[in-house]
Amino acid sequence: MAQLENQILETLKPLIDANTGKSYVAAKNVKNLKCGDAEISLDVVLAYPARSQFDAVRQQFEAALAPLAEGRAIKIAVSAQIVSHSAQRGVPLLPGVKNVIAVASGKGGVGKSTTAANLALALADEGARVGLLDADIYGPSQPLMMGLQGQRPETADGKLTPLSNHGIQTMSIGYLVDADQAMVWRGPMVSQALQQLLNDTRWDDLDYLVIDMPPGTGDVQLTLSQKVPVTGALIVTTPQDIALLDARKGVTMFQKVGVPILGLVENMAIHVCSNCGHAEHIFGEGGAAKMAQDFGVELLGSLPLDLAIRQAVDEGKPAWRPIRPASRPNCTAPSPAASR
């Protein structure tokens, strides 16, 4: 049987994980290979959430092994075991958190918070345990988007217990103050409050903590980048030149503090009229693609300006899959970014 096992591994070497670009065998995703008289079985263990792709991976392996089966049953078990990725050196890890993803923009009003909420939901939908931290002290929006406005977190042993909805653990300054209360604080106070939210929250075994960063590249953003173990940053922009100008500054800031850029997300890329179906690029076209090329980063996707998305987040029921397929020119699952 040892000869058959070696033959199977050689047969599987050409199979490439589309999300990582690496061989499953080389990446050591293939485990527990067993060959018997009646059955060939193995496990495929991915290092990122991809529940929606399990069937396709299973079929890929079954097709490759079929010529070697010789009447044996083929059993392929596909699962995910999410691992921690390296963060900045010298920054202590957050208890209960494997990976931190910062969702940032150089400019406000580009849909960063909506993107962060839907990214968190998409990761959870793919099987990950996910938390969402609203780091915008001056304008917290996640309580409304997550359908938790007006609720208060409980405290136990000096730690805040995150509120949960839609399968997401969330924390925000908006849970601790009245909705209409203005936070008239200077930068150092804001930075201290954010660090307390991070360190004084009892995150429960998260694979990913998505941080909805405040807009801009000032003191608050710098503090978060230097004192939070950020695995990678996602930059949100629109195709408009004024948004791209500030987004470029955001990329530069993360590069200076050693935070990897996972990629760009182009929001409000296209609008499709709900009455006639006419599509137009209200804020311009191709700007994010050019910016991605200039910085050598990936354009992960382009999201539409869609009424259904706006209604969903305003009602506290965000749904990461756009309603009308015609309105999503390039909208993909989060597995490619998470696999990095």
Structure tokens at 77: 């078990």
Closest CA to 123 of 167, 93, 165: 167
Write the CA distances from 137 to 80, 102, 185, integer angstroms: 35, 15, 9
Residue 290 annotated in ligand binding = no
Residue 216 annotated in ligand binding = no
Strand duo 271-272 + 279-280: pairing:
antiparallel
Residue 31 annotated in ligand binding = no
Structure tokens at 314: 């305003």
Task: Give the DSSP H/E element, type plus range, for residue 32.
Answer: strand 30-35
Q: Identify the bridge partners of residue 295 per DSSP, sorted by sequence position.
A: none
Residue 112 annotated in ligand binding = yes
> Which 3-state string (H, E, C) describes 246-283?
HHHHHHHHHHHCCCCEEEEEECCCCEECCCCCCEECCC
Contact 302, 277 (CB under 8 A): no
AA identity, residue 129 = R
Name residues whose C-beta falls within 8 Å of residue 105's C-beta, 6 or more positions apart in sequence. 112, 213, 215, 235, 236, 237, 243, 246, 247, 250
* Biggest alpha carbon–alpha carbon distance for the chain: 73
Contact 76, 58 (CB under 8 A): yes
Structure tokens at 125: 């939908």
Residues 253 and 246: their CA atoms lie apart, in Å, by 11
- Across 51-184, where does the E strand assignment appear? 73-80, 97-104, 130-134, 155-156, 159-160, 163-165, 168-172
Closest CA to 116 of 98, 128, 104, 127: 104
Structure tokens at 169: 């653990």
Residue 96 annotated in ligand binding = no
Residue 107 annotated in ligand binding = yes
AA identity, residue 39 = E
Q: Which residues are annotated as a binding site for ATP?
A: 106-113
Annotated binding site: 106-113
